[in-house]
Amino acid sequence: MITIRPARAEDAEALPGIEQSAGLAFRAIPELAWLADGDNVSAQRHRALIADGACWIGADDRDRPVGFLSAGIEGDTLHIWELDVSLDRQGQGIGRALLGRAVADARRRGLAAVTLTTFRAVAWNAPFYRKFGFRVLEGAEIDERLASLLGDEAEHGMALDQRCAMRLDLR
């Protein structure tokens, strides 16, 4: 049994380990396998995101985090920074439940959209989000904020042609 709940400050220490575990799935994609050994978001950064109130946890029956979605409110948009589920818990609907909770919260707040950046062709990236109604933004649809994020990702070794920005309109 998994419970989706708002993240608490004390959850922050567990989140880098969940991100590391989730990242191991990239080992199945030779050209992206290096991501499995990449840097994770620090517990300190997670605490800051949690304090902003747009982060959720998928907790097991002992209330231990096994997945999380961290986001931030950027103007009239909820931006998803990270959605991770421990490798051994993937495929159980935890990611879908976390995303559903984040979208519902964005609607409750009256936000215009939910955005994120992700890989175009990785099954659990853009194709996953498309199932929820997100669309890939192209050309002039990519605003300055998202273009800047994609540029930062390219500087960290992610091929720009493999990445995309996505948006779910809520209005």
DSSP 97-140: HHHHHHHHHHHHTT-SEEEEEEESS-TTSHHHHHTTT-EEE-GG
Full-prediction pTM beyond 0.85? yes
What letter does residue 48 receive in the DSSP assignment? Answer: H
Q: In the prediction, which pLDDT does 166 show?
A: 96
**Paired sense of beta strands 163-169 and 113-119, if any:** antiparallel
Alpha helices (H) in 24-70, listed in sequence order: 43-51
Q: How far is CA 4 from CA 68, 153, 166, in A?
A: 9, 29, 24
Q: In the prediction, which pLDDT does 115 show?
A: 98
pLDDT tens, the chain, 171 aa long = 899 999 999 999 999 989 888 877 877 777 776 677 777 778 888 999 999 889 999 999 999 999 999 999 999 999 999 999 998 999 999 999 999 999 999 999 999 999 999 999 888 889 999 999 999 999 999 999 999 999 998 888 887 888 999 999 998
**Which structure tokens are listed for 91?**
């495929």
Q: In the prediction, which pLDDT does 124 show?
A: 85
Best CATH choice for the domain 3-169 from the list 3.40.630.30, 2.60.40.10, 3.40.50.970, 3.20.20.70: 3.40.630.30
Three-point CA angle 50, 71, 155, nearest 5°: 115
Q: In the prediction, which pLDDT does 20 show?
A: 85
Q: In the prediction, which pLDDT does 38 show?
A: 72
**Which structure tokens are listed for 69?**
């979605």
Q: In the prediction, which pLDDT does 28 show?
A: 78
Q: In the prediction, which pLDDT does 34 show?
A: 67
Domain spans in the chain, listed from the N-terminal domain onward: 3-169
Burial class from Cβ neighbours inside 10 Å (0-12, 13-18, 19+) for residue 155 reads exposed
